[in-house]
Amino acid sequence: MQIYLDVVNSFLEEGVNNMLKENIVMFRNVNGHSQEEVAEKIGISRQAYAKWEKGETIPDVERCQKLAELYGVTIDSLINFSGKIGTTKLTPGPKGKYIFGTTKMNDRGQIVIPKKERNLFGIDSGASFVVLRDEAEGIALMKADLFEKRLNAA
Which position has the higher pLDDT, 63 or 10? Answer: 63
CA 131 to chain centre: 24
Q: Which residue has the higher pLDDT, 138 or 45?
A: 45
Start-end ranges of CATH 1.10.260.40 in the chain?
2-84
Instruction: Name which residue leads in pLDDT, 41 or 139.
Output: 41
> Span 113-131, mean pLDDT?
87
CA distance 144 to 92: 27
Instruction: Say what the pLDDT of residue 9 is.
Output: 44
Q: Which of 8-17, 29-38, 42-51 has the lowest mean pLDDT?
A: 8-17
Q: The pTM is what? A: 0.57
Domain 2-84 has CATH 1.10.3720.10: no
